[in-house]
Amino acid sequence: MDFLDPITLGGIAALIFPFCRISGFLATFFVISGSTVPMLARAMLAMAFTVCLLPSIPAPPEGLYVFSVPGVITIFQEVLKGLAIGYMTQLLAQIFTMAGQVVAMQTGLGFASLVDPVSGTNAPVVGQFFTILTTLVFFALDGHLAFFRMLLLSFETMPMGAGFIPPGGLYSIAAFGAFMFQGAVAMSLSAICTMLVVNFTLGVMTRAAPQLNIFSLGFAVSMIVGIVVLVISLNAYMGNFTRDFNGIIEQSCSLIGTTCEGPL
């Protein structure tokens, strides 16, 4: 019965290696990686996705088994690959979360804060508003399907047991940090410029009429103007989201070592 050992070990390897990459992907995937999703639920989702994608995933190299030193190294490589691909979705979410925090701090709306269900830390309500809005738009536009397709494509461009992510892919993650700050500033630039004009006007008024209480007057005016600017700036939300989403798709394609013609 020894001839069954390679078949059994090969079958286990064909299931475990993809499961490790998909588990790492879901561990950092936007929304699913939040503290509100139980660990058991993520594990069951990873197993379900593995079973569904298994017919389309190339088989691992022959002789590469889980219970061996090369197999353990491959497991770590697969987990890190999944973590890197899922982490790109976190960067997309952080663009608008950061933009909301900047708007909140500039307009005086940052005093209201709640516990962010994604990161588990206190965040301004405006930042959470952008986080919830980004979540709804992301799933409404099938962004999760695009990244699952990206994950499936990674099994062809980065086969199991073929080494770690290429240096160019790691550079794309670091380079997207600059893109993240640019997107956040572009989204919150209208609030920054408006509040600069408001603060300048309040300063002139205080200089002309020193009896005015700048603290009580300025705080109320800043909040009212901030709410108006926030409502008006939502008109440009979809344009910013589309640009940022296309940018993260291009960076994700560079991460897995392929080229994408527009969004997936």
How far is Cα 102 from Cα 148, in angstroms, rounded to an integer?
31
pLDDT tens figures, 110-154: 665 655 555 555 666 777 788 888 888 888 888 888 888 888 888
Three-state secondary structure readout of the chain: CCCHHHHHHHHHHHHHHHHHHHHHHHHHCCCCCCCCCCHHHHHHHHHHHHHHHHHHCCCCCCCCCCCCHHHHHHHHHHHHHHHHHHHHHHHHHHHHHHHHHHHHHHHCHHHCEEECCCCCCEEEHHHHHHHHHHHHHHHHCCHHHHHHHHHHHHHHHCCCCCCCCCHHHHHHHHHHHHHHHHHHHHHHHHHHHHHHHHHHHHHHHHHHCCCCCHHHHHHHHHHHHHHHHHHHHHHHHHHHHHHHHHHHHHHHHHHCCCCCCCCC
Please tell me the predicted confidence (pLDDT) of residue 113.
Answer: 60
Query: What residues pair up with 114 in beta bridges, in sequence order?
Result: 123
Which one, of 124, 148, 19, 146, lies nearest residue 75 by Cα?
19
How far is Cα 225 from Cα 197, in angstroms, rounded to an integer?
11
Q: Cβ atoms within 10 A of the Cβ of 124, count?
A: 23
Please tell me the predicted confidence (pLDDT) of residue 168.
Answer: 65
- CB 147 within 8 Å of CB 252: yes
Q: Which amino acid is at 168?
A: G
Q: Which two tokens stand for residue 127?
A: 């930042």
* Regions in the chain scoring below 70 on pLDDT: 1-7, 9-10, 34-35, 63, 108-124, 163, 166-169, 172, 209-219, 261-264
Give the up-direction half-sphere exposure of residue 18: CA atoms within 13 A in the CB hemisphere.
28
How far is Cα 92 from Cα 145, in angstroms, rounded to an integer?
15
| Residue tagged 């919830």 (tokens) | 132
C-alpha separations of 122 from 101, 102, 126, 214 in Å: 11, 15, 12, 29
Please state the domain extents for the chain: 4-255
Q: Which two tokens stand for residue 152?
A: 């499936």
Please tell me the predicted confidence (pLDDT) of residue 264.
Answer: 44
